[in-house]
């Protein structure tokens, strides 16, 4: 479950990084598309989506597949859910996990700190991405964003993250996180932004 929490945070933090508009130089056409997606991220007040998660881990012989749903609400609320009995919540008050219908304590200090940092970034588009190298390119109808950590501390957590966005709708299609344990690909469907989300989801 913690791996998925990190992956969920990665989506939001990368949207935040994009909102800062700092990336390696690209072609003029790619820059226009990138800036359109940046503008969409900057105006995002809410997001919800269904997802399919596929994990390929060195310790497992078979791929692990899970499905679920994620919700985000500005300024600092997130919920990721596999089913009604297994989900996690982050809010300005902190966060917690629920497993098999039972609350399973608070989020660890590390994940709580990460939640504060990331939801703060997405709310204010402030901060620094000096510990990451970001580049992007357009292939067909997708903008592909590659992010690689440059600091030793971040390299210990993740080696590379690849995100794909629809160039027409600006909505996220997928992201993949690669680390020493393996790789996880999450694809999104029914993505919706700036629609009403019940605050009770985050209580």
CATH number at residue 95: 2.50.20.10
Of 2-16, 49-63, 121-135, 141-155, the least confident: 2-16
Find the domain containing 87 and state its range. Answer: 2-202
Higher pLDDT among residues 187 and 96, named by residue: 187
Structure tokens at 27: 């072609």
Q: Give the pLDDT confidence score for residue 23 in this predicted structure.
A: 53
Task: Specify the pTM.
Answer: 0.76
The closest alpha carbon to 110, from 5, 202, 1, belongs to 5
Q: Give the pLDDT confidence score for residue 166 in this predicted structure.
A: 92
Task: Specify the number of domains making up the chain.
Answer: 1
Strand boundaries in 20-171, DSSP class E: 46-57, 64-73, 77-83, 86-91, 94-99, 102-106, 132-139, 142-149, 160-166
Which residue(s) pair with 49 in the sheet? 70
Q: Which residue has the tokens 């130089």?
A: 25
What length does the chain have? 203
């Amino acid at each position: 479950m913690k791996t998925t929490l990190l992956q969920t945070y990665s989506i939001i933090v990368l949207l935040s990084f994009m909102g800062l508009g700092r990336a390696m130089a690209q072609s003029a056409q790619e820059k226009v598309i990138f800036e359109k997606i940046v503008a969409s991220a900057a105006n995002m007040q809410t997001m919800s989506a269904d997802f399919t998660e596929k994990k390929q881990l060195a310790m497992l012989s078979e791929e692990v597949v899970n499905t679920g749903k994620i919700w985000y609400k500005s300024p600092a609320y997130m919920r990721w859910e596999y089913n009604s009995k297994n989900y996690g919540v982050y809010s300005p008050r902190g966060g917690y996990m629920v497993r098999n219908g039972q609350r399973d304590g608070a989020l660890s200090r590390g994940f709580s700190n990460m939640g504060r940092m990331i939801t703060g970034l997405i709310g204010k588009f402030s901060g620094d991405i000096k510990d990451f190298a970001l580049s992007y390119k357009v292939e067909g109808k997708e903008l592909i964003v590659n992010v690689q950590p440059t600091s030793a501390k971040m390299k210990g957590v993740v080696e590379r993250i690849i995100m794909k966005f629809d160039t027409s709708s600006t909505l996220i299609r997928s992201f993949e996180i690669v680390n020493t344990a393996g790789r996880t690909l999450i694809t999104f469907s029914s993505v919706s932004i700036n629609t009403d989300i019940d605050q009770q989801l985050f209580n």
